[in-house]
Structure formats: structure tokens, C-alpha cells
Amino acid sequence: MDFSRVYDVLVLGGGNAGLCAAITAREAGASVAIVETAPKSMRGGNSRHTRNMRTMHVGPAAPMTDAYPEDEYWDDLLKVTGGLTDEGLARRAIRDTAEHLPWMIRHGVRFQAPLGGTLHLSRTNAFFLGGGKALVNAYYACGEKLGIEVSYETEVTDLELRDGRFASATVMHQGVEHRVAAKCVVVACGGFESNLAWLREAWGPPADNFIVRGTPYNMGRVLKVLLEKGAKQVSDATQGHCVAIDARSPKFDGGIVTRVDAVSLGIVVNREGQRFYDEGEDFWPKRYAIWGRLVAGQPEQIAYAIIDAKSMGKFMPPVFPPVRAQTLAELAGAFKLDGSALARTVAQFNASVRPGTFDHTVLDDCATSGIDPPKTHWARAIDTPPFFGYPLRPGITFTYLGVAIDERTRMLMANGVTAQNVFAAGEIMAGNVLGKGYLAGIGMAIGTTFGRIAGAEAARFAGT
């Protein structure tokens, strides 16, 4: 891109939301440039790691089956957020997904049947062929054809923003600072989950034990600048999409393969060898998003999922092999747990298991009684060697702290002013819809909906 040129629309961040905004604005006639922090090979923010979009539909809509009406979608969102959501924006995000698939296909995205092992999402989520990186590649290829300019390895360090009006962005590219002016800006550069210092500020020392499951490039620099310059904040710095992942995962960027789906089949104990939550409360895909916070609340932010031979092979294969032991004492030793504490916990658990008919595909009647916390489904005694264990840590995918927006994605200032030429889309505003909790595939729904709106509004503002 030409740093000296005044573009109609400057898009900060080249993930799904930024790309949707850029393409929409460009097709409306605006000149558009995207500034992306990552190198080309790592472009796309957390969109690289996504695999589907939760999509409303009133009848079968390939690749999805049956129907997923607005009210059901809304109810699902209400449940996970506990009401911490802006109904107007949330319903807008939900309704617009009904129109996204044809638009996405027109811009090169391809869909596929639900992946093996994800049939439970076949009705609600549309899977991208090849996953999120393929989607990102398709949008970049489309952008290139449309004449959208992209500058990789370019970090935004400051914004000129007075009284809610954007004038220019300061960027660093190859060690040189540039001031880039534009008629308006779309901020679509994610949360701050890669910024370990900021996570520590929010969480205290426990943050040091968090693993960042998402991109290493979301330092939250633009978010910080916006909040400092008077943007109205939504959600708080401790909220985010945080799941329990394998403790052996890389510090950053581990993505989907770091998951451990064994939790609901066994028990989970902490450093002290104690259970701390109902492992069988609901199907794992409906619960995985609370376990990150649960583990974060345990001593040293670590936990261990333990199963026996009966459950091996009954869940999606994790990328890291389990620790395997012939006895519980040996397993405790491998994890440096107190062997007698673990033995006691397992003995109590086993004694509390009531007879039932085990069926992992339904909420079965295998439950415990007289134990706290209970295990309400899929409770079977841990008694058949070999035993297997997976160490768990909190894995942050993205943070919810963000800027407030109106229905046209215009950023709201804390003083009540609406920023006329600053539009926000994607994770940086996801907190408007997601106050807490997470619903699989809603991140891409938020990014696509508000990205497209932001692009259209930005082009309109620029007078094209």
C-alpha cells in the first residue's frame, strides 16, 4: 500500500471481520487498504483457527440440516451469556447470518458437511471447507482481484482521534514509522489475548499459567489506544473465550488440536487431587467454554482429566498422547500429585456411582449420589487399568473487553458522543454481544455481520 495516499477506508486488522468490511467497502466503490500486523503466512488473526459459523436458517440450508430459527439461536446465546448481551446487536448478528452464506460463497468461501465427530453441530453451524485459514485465503484472493491494498507486518501504534473523529493512524512498517490518513477507519484488530502483561494486569499472577490458544499477534494495542482516547468500554478484561486445553500445548497459537474431550468421560482433579466441578453436567461442546475459567480458579491453574480403559478411544483423539499408568498411584506419581489424596478421591467417587445405562450420546442416567460436587451424567467407576491422564490449563482464545458500538457499528465514546468515522467489527466489539460465555461458531457470525455492516457504513461515510 501507499502510505502517503489518503484512502477512503483504512481497515485495521486482516481477519474475517476486517476482510468482510474491506470487500464490502471496495465493492461499494471506496478505495480500501488493510493494515495487518502478521506476516502473510500468519495473517487472519484468530480466523485462521476457526472452522465454522453459527448460522440461523429457517429450513435446510446446505451444508446445514433442518432449521435453526432466530429465537432458538437467541435462547442459546442468552443461556451462555446469562443475559450479558445487547439484545439489539445480538439479534442483528443472528438475523444477518441467514444472508451470509450466499455472500461468502460469492466471495470464494466454500462449505462442507460437518467434520467427523461434530454431528451435533450439523444443524446449527456451517463448516468452511479447509477451515478458517482457507476462508481467509479466499477473502484475500478476492480482495486482490478487487484492488484492495494490503500491508503485512505493519503494526498500528497510535490513532489520531479527536472528539470521536478519526484523522490518521500511525503505523510501523519495516522499522519505519508512517502516518496514514483516511476518510474513515474500520477497527477490526481483535482483543488483547496475546498480550501477557495485560492478561497479568487483569488476572494477577494466575495469568502466567494461561496458554493463548489463538493468534500471537493480538496485542490489543489499538484497543488500548481507543479506550485511552475515550471510547466507551464493554465487558471487562477477565472475560473471554477460555477453554480447558492440554497443558503441554504451545504457549501461543495451538488452535483446535489442543482440546481434550475426555472430561465428561472421567473425573477432573486439581493439584490437591480433589474434584471441583460436575464433569458430566452437559455435553462437552456445551460445557467446554466454562472449563477454562474453572481450571483458572484452581491452585496453580492446573487440573488433570483422568479416565480408565473403558473410556479410551471414545472421544476425539487429542494431539498429545495421554499419560498412561497401570495403577492410580503410578498416575499420581507421573503428575506429581499426592497419591493417597487421589486414591481417596477416586475411591469416594467410585463408591458414589449409582447403577445406570451408560450412553455417551445422550444425557444418560449414570450419576453419582452423596458426593459433592456430583457427576450428573456418564458417571462410571474409574477402576479398569490402564488409567490415562491429560493435564489441563486454561486456554484463552480471545478476550471480550472491547469498544461499544451502535447498530451501524459506529464506535461510541464514553461521553455519549458517537464517533462518526470510526467503525468497529469482530473481536474488538464482540463484548457487546458476548458479555461472558461462548457459543461455538458465534465469533465468525459476529465478525461477518458487523464486518459487512462496517464496510457498507464506511463506504457510505466516505461518500462513495
Q: Is 127 helix (H, G, I), strand (E, B) or coil?
A: strand
Among 191, 240, 255, 443, binds another protein (CB under 8 A): 255
CA angle 346, 349, 355 (to 5 degrees): 130
User: What's the closest the beta carbon of residue 361 comes to another protein, in angstroms?
Assistant: 8
Q: Does 95 help bind another protein (rule: CB under 8 A)? A: no
Residue 62 lies near another protein (rule: CB under 8 A): no
What secondary structure letter does DSSP report for 214?
S
The answer to whether residue 410 forms part of the interface with another protein (CB under 8 A) is: no
Binding segment (CB under 8 A) for another protein, from list 67-75, 152-160, 308-316, 424-432: 308-316
Q: Which of 70, 98, 120, 418 binds another protein (CB under 8 A)?
A: 120
Binder among 315, 388, 390, 398 for another protein (CB under 8 A): 315
Does 285 participate in binding another protein (rule CB under 8 A)? yes
- Confirm if 418 and 235 have CB atoms less than 8 A apart: no
**Stretch of 25-33, 147-155, 307-315, 416-424 lying at the interface with another protein (CB under 8 A):** 307-315
Task: Tell me the closest approach of the beta carbon of residue 120 to another protein, in angstroms.
Answer: 6
Question: Cell 478519526 identifies what position?
Answer: 166
Cell of 396: 484463552
Q: Which is nearer to another protein, 140 or 210 (CB)?
A: 140
Helix (H, G, I), strand (E, B) or coil at 249: coil
What is the C-alpha R_g of the chain?
Answer: 23
In SS3 terms, 339-374 reads as HHHHHHHHHHHHHHECCCCCCCCCCCCCCECCCCCC
Task: Judge contact between 132 and 214, C-beta under 8 A.
Answer: no
Residue 416 sits in the site that holds another protein (CB under 8 A): no
Distance, CA of 380 to CA of 355 (rounded, Å): 9
Stretch that binds another protein, among 187-195, 200-208, 249-257, 399-407 (CB under 8 A): 249-257
Which residue lies nearer to another protein by CB, 307 or 404? 307
Q: Any idea of the CA torsion for 28, 32, 34, 35, to the nearest 10 degrees?
A: -150
196 scored as a contact of another protein (CB under 8 A): no
Q: Could you say whether residue 51 binds another protein (CB under 8 A)?
A: yes
Asked if 147 touches another protein (CB under 8 A), the answer is no
Contact of 9 with 183, CB cutoff 8 Å: yes
Does 110 bind another protein (CB under 8 A)? Our answer is yes
Least distance between another protein and beta carbon 95 (Å): 28
Least separation in angstroms between residue 279's CB and another protein is 15
Q: Which of 18, 132, 322, 443 binds another protein (CB under 8 A)?
A: 132
| Cβ-contact 182, 156 below 8 angstroms | no
State the Cα–Cα distance between residues 426 and 430, nearest whole angstrom: 6
The whole-angstrom separation of Cα 98 and Cα 88 is 16
How many residues bind to another protein according to rule CB under 8 A?
44
Which of residues 227 and 256 has its CB atom nearest to another protein in the complex? 256
Residue 137 within binding range of another protein, rule CB under 8 A:
yes
- CA 293 to chain CA centroid, nearest Å: 14
Contact with another protein (CB under 8 A): which of 6, 129, 197, 362? 129
Residue 395 binds another protein, judged by CB under 8 A = no
Shortest distance in whole angstroms from residue 108 CB to another protein = 8
What is the SS3 assignment for 334?
A: helix
Is residue 261 near another protein by the rule CB under 8 A? yes
3-state secondary structure of 452: helix
Minimum CB–partner distance for residue 336 and another protein (Å): 25
Instruction: Identify the CA nearest to 402 among candidates 370, 436, 372, 444.
Output: 436
139 binds another protein (CB under 8 A): no
Query: Cα separation of 54 and 440, whole Å?
Result: 7
The reply on whether position 256 binds another protein by CB under 8 A is yes
Q: How far is Cα 346 from Cα 425, in angstroms, rounded to an integer? A: 47
Closest distance to another protein from the beta carbon of 252 (Å): 8
Residues 6+ apart with CB under 8 A from 324: 386, 387, 388
d(CA 130, CA 108): 12
Q: C-beta of 444: minimal distance to another protein in Å?
A: 13
**Residue 112 in the binding site for another protein (CB under 8 A):** yes
Instruction: Candidates 82-90, 121-129, 171-179, 289-297: pick the segment binding another protein (CB under 8 A).
Output: 121-129
Q: How far is CA 28 from CA 7, 9, 149, in A?
A: 14, 11, 15
Residue 417: CB partners within 8 Å, gap ≥ 6? 163, 164
Is there binding between residue 250 and another protein (CB under 8 A)?
Answer: yes
Distance CA 306, CA 49 (A): 27
Q: Is 119 in the site for another protein (CB under 8 A)?
A: yes
Q: x-or-dash pattern for another protein, window 7-26, by CB under 8 A?
A: --------------------
238 contributes a contact to another protein by CB under 8 A: no
List residues binding another protein (CB under 8 A).
39, 41-42, 48-49, 51, 110, 112-113, 115-120, 127-134, 137, 141, 250, 253, 255-257, 259, 261, 284-285, 313-319, 321, 360-361
